[in-house]
Amino acid sequence: MDMVNKIDDSLKRAENFLLNKVNTDRPGIKKCSEYHDIVKYPDMCLPATYNATHALILLGAYKNIEESLRSSIAEYICSYQIESGAFRFKNMKNDEIWKGRDLNNTWQYIDFHVTNYCIGALKSLEKPWRYPLNFIQEWTDQENLEKWLEDRDLTDPWMEGNNIVNLASFLICTLEGKEDPKLQELTDVLFAWHDRHQDPQTGFWGTNHPLKPAGIMQGMAGAAHNFHLYYYYDREIPYYKKIVDYCLQFIKGGVRSACLDIDVVDILANMWIYGYRSDEILESLAEFGQKLISFQNQDGGFADEKSNGVRRMDGWVKGYFEPQGLSNCFATWFRCASLAMISYLLDSEKGSRFKFRNTVGIGYFNKKYLRGNDNEQDA
């Protein structure tokens, strides 16, 4: 069996896990894993649901779902939106979250994180959210956006890569398609900031911080998010040879976490188009695809890591946790997206069936990136 067929078989088993192994008593609403106590942690059904929804749309399982199921999922996700436009867990408290630089920055990070996945799922379901994203209004001013960008803590590029791509997603979702030139002006600000701060020695951000340079792995993990702006706007990424060199070395290390694995796959799958070490990229991705398939659990789902530790909701340090090694919706979506990108690179005709999310952030993949066509996303 060739690798593309092996991936198809793996994804079918993952689809079965998401459809049948993590259900609640509400149609389309999922729990994180079979370990998840939804009475004690009802809010965690939100990320479980948007993760599973993204994956099932990607795989085609939700292509022709009934309107009642589509509406059930959308109404549930929208029940977490607050009037500012952000999506927020109902039971998350100040004393339960990671404290970062300060409480406001922590809430901003968590709100951005959850909101981008929620609106991405809703857009893929072709359903609206309840309130406009008014919380981004201050950053629709060029000067305020510049100040916010300069305040990014590039000693932690992984966190800030998330923050930047999430805010960019909100700006695109709010302003794109309007005749107002504001989005172009804000996009220019974003790319100017990236140009100023990108490290020519690595191609990443934060690895050249003057006081506390970030490690190159953290730089890569953060940059995987920043790069989505380049893919979306069909712009070539500077220093791509340095980036490819590092990622080809990194991917040889085998399966790590769901986040790190999709980061390196995402970068290589997009940078294959540059024609630099392209055969090695295809070979490395095919080999890594096999490693991901071997990592898959017997129930068809995927774990984040196979270790003795615990997995927590990002930022909720005193909230939900579960043992590592369990199949869960989060890791299953990330690993399905990784395998789908690999499959597309190996056989673009067969891989055309995958419906990647069309909002920037994890799981986004522009199949026409730098291919000389318009930047049309998945319909």
- pLDDT tens digits, residue range 67-105? 999 999 999 999 999 999 999 999 988 888 877 767 888
The helix/strand/coil state of 229 is helix
In a domain, 131, yes or no: yes
In a domain, 376, yes or no: no
Q: For residue 259, give every residue at least 6 positions away whose Cβ sits within 8 Å of its Cβ, in sequence order, or none.
A: 221, 304, 334, 362
Mean of the per-residue pLDDT values for the chain?
95
Average pLDDT of the residues in 55-70:
96
**How distant, in Å, are the alpha carbons of 148, 181, 297 from that of 189?**
11, 13, 44
Average pLDDT of the residues in 169-189:
94
Under the banding of pLDDT at 50, 70 and 90, the label for residue 294 is: very high
Distance CA 105, CA 99 (A): 8
| CB-based contact 276:241 (threshold 8 Å) | yes
Domain that holds residue 228: 3-351
Owner of token pair 């369990």? 326
Q: What CATH number is given to the structural domain containing 113?
A: 1.50.10
| CB-based contact 291:298 (threshold 8 Å) | no
In a domain, 372, yes or no: no
Q: What is the pLDDT of residues 219-275, one digit of tens each?
A: 999 999 999 999 999 999 999 999 999 999 999 999 999 999 999 999 999 999 999
Q: Which H/E stretch holds residue 266?
A: helix 258-271
Q: What is the pLDDT of residues 298-335, one digit of tens each?
A: 999 999 999 889 998 888 878 899 999 999 999 999 99
**Per-residue confidence (pLDDT) for residue 179, from 0 to 100:** 78
Give the DSSP per-residue string, 167-214: HHHHHHHHHTTSS-THHHHHHHHHHHHHHHHB-TTTSSBSTT-SSSPP
Query: Does residue 375 or residue 111 have the better pLDDT?
Result: 111
Tell which phi-psi region holds residue 221, choosing left (phi > 0), alpha (psi between -120 and 50) or beta. Answer: alpha
Residue 377 has pLDDT above 50, yes or no: no
> What's the pTM value of the predicted model, to 2 decimals?
0.96
Give me the number of domains the chain comprises. 1
**Per-residue confidence (pLDDT) for residue 374, from 0 to 100:** 46
In a domain, 315, yes or no: yes
Query: What is the CB neighbour count within 10 angstroms for residue 38?
Result: 16
**Per-residue confidence (pLDDT) for residue 121, from 0 to 100:** 98
In a domain, 44, yes or no: yes
In a domain, 286, yes or no: yes
In a domain, 307, yes or no: yes
Structure-derived torsion over alpha carbons of residues 342, 362, 233, 155, reported in degrees to the nearest 10? -120
In a domain, 362, yes or no: no
Q: What is the pLDDT of residues 124-168, one digit of tens each?
A: 999 999 999 999 999 999 999 999 999 999 999 999 999 999 999
**Per-residue confidence (pLDDT) for residue 378, from 0 to 100:** 45
